[in-house]
Structure 1
Amino acid sequence: MPARSIAQLSVLLQSGALDPVDLAEETLARIAGHPDKTIFTSVTTVRARADAEAARKRLREGRSRGVLEGIPVAWKDLFDLEGLPTTAGSRVLKTSAPATKDAAVVRALAEAGMVSVGRVNMSEFAFSGLGINPHYGTPRNPASPSGEHRIPGGSSSGSGVAVAAGLVPVSIGTDTGGSVRIPAAFNGVVGYKATRGRYSMEGAFPLAKSLDSLGPLCRTVQDAAWIDAAMRGLPAADVLPRVEPGDLSFVIPETVFFDDAEPEVVAAFKMAVESLTRAGARIRRAAFPEFSAIFDLMAKHGALVTAEAFVLHRARITGSDAADMDPRVVKRTLLGEKITLSDYVETLAARERLTADFEARLGPGELVLSPTLPHVAPALQPLLDDEDLFFRMNGKTLRNTLIGNFLDWCCVSLPYGTGANNLPVGLLVSGRRGSDLRVLAAAGAVEALFG
């Protein structure tokens, strides 16, 4: 059976053509029958059946909670689910105390009637853009050529693969340096990174609180908009303003985003720009020195994410737990020990200045249009065999997307065409902080244009 979007499933559920319990059982059977056992870290069968029974009862009694009633959802393995330990992709947390309540966004989607079917794999402690996990395995990108294991992207690796493989219509991830947008682009699905602070982070295991944001990986922009509304406790229907391509204004950054990009990625992006131009969108190109300045700042003072991750995990990586952690995560986190308080404070001050400078360069309502990533998903084995290659590829994979976290953007990555080896390529629509509805609406218009 082909993968279905939230909207497609919702029509069937609301009309009575599909029963929520039957959908839940179908979803659980798909998960159980899928050959890749590394996608889900836990399947919440009892909870899913109870959620589905409650949704069935409400629908039969005419008390539907809205368009998300009965829709299955999976959670990145760092959101608290009541009664389960939150392992954050790590072996060292497997014996931690079970969560006493759901994370705030888990509760919000439960209130909207969604059915939680389990938690999915991730990079350990969310500290990698590649999605490789030595403890629970690395999910295989469903777009991998026959006989190959291409990486899923991270850190929300299982979320991207679960949606791309058609196991669930939506999975909720987090994004500190690209962790929603990277797996979305690599796996050929939609990924929405909300403005930091748009939703409560209560019950979500952090990486770097000054950068952490979250959002859904799903099949369509409309689906993302419905999830966005529900996570804010709002009715999901009619939340996405309708715009046409002729209403849109984009700027293409000439700084950083295209450096060392694969020719096929650039070619796919040019085709997208040509289609938007023919449809009436206004598009210009511009240099953004702020982007280069971010990397100069990181070279001088260290990265915010590294500093905050070191403080969070200092006891683990300097104690006995380190032996049970991914050595690449330990090595990267230890770099934070060299970042001084003055480095950290100067970086925060520079961040405010660079964010203001960037926003001043945008015209009214103007959005940034770029490739999500400079390359398609690489093969897994060479990255396992060569640590230096791992770190170089991780840096390149995070390069484009971390700019949006540093400058507090909201973004949507859309699948657009293919690159080398017929692997998915992502198109990124980004906007200044707080412009989430405009970014979602614009991404919806772009999606509709491309079909």
Structure 2
Amino acid sequence: MGHLGKSVAQLSALIQTGALDPRQLAEETLDAIRTHADQSIFTVLTPERALAEADQSAKRLAEGRSLGILDGIPVAWKDLFDMEGLTTTAGSTVLAKNPPATTDAAIVTTLKQAGMIAVGRTNMSEFAFSGIGINPHYGTPKNPASTDVPRVPGGSSSGAGVSVAGGLVPVAMGTDTGGSIRIPAAFNGIVGYKGTRGRYAMDGVFPLATSLDALGPLCHTVQDAVWVDAAMRGRTSSEVVRGTLEGQSLVVPETVFFDGIEDGAAMAFEATLERLSRAGARIRRQAFPIFAQLFEIITERGALVTAEAYALHRERLHGEDARGMDPRVVSRSLTGQKITAPDYIHILQVRQRMIAEMARSVAPGDILVSPTLPHVAPTIESLLTDDAAFFAANGKTLRNTQIGNFLDWCGVSIPCGTGDAGMPVGCLLSGLPNTDEHLLSIAVAAEETVRG
């Protein structure tokens, strides 16, 4: 058990020097998952595949043919990435009758080619349609940071966040349509990076809303995310260069992001800003009226994610399958049928105007810095039986992060302290579309300061 809970960097140093055999690490990882007290973190394990891949890695290393820093490193895949021989269920039971995938998702293949070891698939909110992480079919993974009462893991990449935070795997792959990587990262006290939409191949990834869906890793450090990002794009090394905080412009968005924020989250974030300022960053606070306008559009016309999710699941929602789905997912998805084609086109047009306006509102190279979430992880019990409380918590949980999805930002959530009940608080660094290299370079430079 001595190797679990370590970062990619720590494990890679052991593997590359021959101090740790990839098969031993794979066996340790599989054993830890099988014997873990919380059996709702993974939906399925792939031991035969993992051990075969680990043996191949060990052979390469013994022959001096390492594929690089990720060779032999375990990775867990969210339950919406196709894996050859497994049925992709996307956190549901209604897809279980589908035939198994005949090939891996493109990104699964790409990380296998970098030498990573696929150990299994992680639990998630059904069809990725919640930021809370509660799943009535496979159970709800418990947030490992909670010491008082069981708290939510955050969604939709719930098992991904808990599998890393709980020390079972060093990397878990997630998707992010409204915050589904950054939310569990913040709630569980780990790093979560959402690349700009379109940065990675999406073939074989079960969608939620293709206009918004993005991918990225949950892991222990920003440096780990940088290495995984490079591998996800088929690179043998990263072009990200460590930046500097000295003179870096950080913009704090005052509109929406702080509405109803818990005192503990606000205090942790303000203390982070002070540390960043002392480290040489230039911080300014700025209002962004378009953020408020975004939520006005959602109220008037509906949400883009809801329109596309309804279109994807329409037959399911009006057929027999609806009875086998999470009622909360059904009711939220059904609101999409009220969104007309003119509404949908209007939302898309507004989106393009807002993205252009955002580019005019900040200077090139500016990084937005904000609380990832306005609160710490709520208790599971408080949301299980009260639908009104669930939908209110879900809306507030998704609020900050979904702005970045709508405006096509890239983003990294880094732990920045603790708030109420001693639970983790995240600091979100965001960049405009396709500025991922710059964002990651500043995030690498800022991580120690952000963590304090």
Range of TM-score over shorter length: over 0.9
Show CA shifts across 1:19-60 (max 9, x none). Answer: 001110111111111100000000000000000000000000
Per-residue CA deviations over 1:273-327 (Å, capped at 9, x if unaligned) read 0001111101100000110111011111100000000010001110000000000
Counterparts of 2:446 and 2:377, CA distance in 1: 23
Take 2:317 and 2:242, find their aligned partners in 1: how far apart are those partners?
49
Partner of 1:143: 145
Quote the offset at 1:364 in angstroms.
2.2
Unaligned runs of 5+ in 2: none
Matched residues, percent identical?
Answer: 61
Q: In structure 1, what is the Cα distance between the partners aligned to 2:392 and 2:242?
A: 41
Partner of 2:47: 45
SS at match of 1:295: helix
Aligned-residue offset at 1:240 = 2.6
Residue 210 of structure 1 aligns with an amino acid whose one-letter code is S
Give the alignment of 1:393-404 within 5 angstroms.
Answer: 393-404=393-404
Give the corresponding residue for 1:88.
Answer: 90
Report what 1:431 is aligned to.
431
Checking the alignment, whether the CA contact within 8 Å between 1:226 and 1:239 is kept in structure 2 is: no
Question: How many angstroms apart in 2 are the aligned matches of 1:150 and 1:176?
Answer: 22
Q: How does 1:263-278 map to 2 (within 5 A)?
A: 263-278=263-278
Letter paired with 2:120: G
Residue 224 of structure 1 corresponds to which residue in structure 2?
Answer: 225
Partner in structure 1 of residue 212 of structure 2: 211
C-alpha distance in 1 between matches for 2:376 and 2:38: 21
The letter of the residue matching 1:181 is R
Match of 1:285 in 2: 285
Matched, 1:105 2:107: yes
5 Å-filtered alignment, 1:340-351, equals 340-351=340-351
2:63 partner amino acid: E
Amino acid at match of 1:174: T
Amino acid at match of 1:47: R
Q: What is the SS of the residue equivalent to 2:408?
A: coil
User: Is the CA contact 1:91–1:135 (under 8 Å) kept in the aligned structure 2?
Assistant: yes
Alignment of 1:367-378 (within 5 A): 367-378=367-378
Q: Report the AA paired with residue 77 of structure 2.
A: W
In 2, the alpha carbon distance for the partners of 1:92 and 1:247 equals 53
Normalising by structure 2, we get a TM-score of 0.98
Q: Helix, strand or coil for the counterpart of 2:246?
A: helix
Q: CA deviation at 1:448?
A: 2.6
Partner of 1:406: 406
- 2: CA distance, partners of 1:420 / 1:165: 20
SS at match of 1:151: coil
Count of matched residue positions in the alignment of Structure 1 and Structure 2: 449
Which range moved further: 359-368 or 336-345? 359-368
Question: Separation in 2 of the partners of 1:424 and 1:247?
Answer: 28
Once residues 76 and 247 of structure 1 are traced to their aligned partners in structure 2, the CA distance between those partners, rounded to angstroms, is 38
In structure 2, how many angstroms separate the alpha carbons of the residues matched to 1:447 and 1:106?
Answer: 28
Alpha-carbon RMSD: 0.8
Length-normalised TM-score, structure 1: 0.99
Distance (whole Å) between structure 2 residues aligned to residue 244 and residue 366 of structure 1: 13
Alignment partner, residue 61 of structure 2: 59
Matches within 5 A, 1:169-208: 169-208=170-209
SS in structure 2 at match of 1:245: coil
Who is 1:164 aligned against? 165
In 1, Cα distance between equivalents of 2:304 and 2:429:
24
The 8 Å contact of residues 170 and 216 in structure 1, kept in 2 or not, is answered as yes
Amino acid at match of 2:159: G
Structure 1 position 247, deviation (Å): 4.1
Residue 17 of structure 1 aligns with which residue? 19
Aligned pair 1:257/2:257, yes or no?
Answer: yes
| Runs ≥4 residues deviating over 6 A | none
SS in 2 for 1:255: coil
User: What is the alpha-carbon distance in structure 1 between the residues aligned to residue 270 and residue 389 of structure 2?
Assistant: 29
Unaligned runs of 5+ in 1: none
The answer (yes or no) to whether the contact 1:149–1:380 under 8 Å persists in 2 is yes
1:354-405 Cα deviation digits (max 9, x unpaired): 1111111111210100000000000011101100000000000000000000
TM-superposed CA distance for 1:244, in Å, is: 2.0
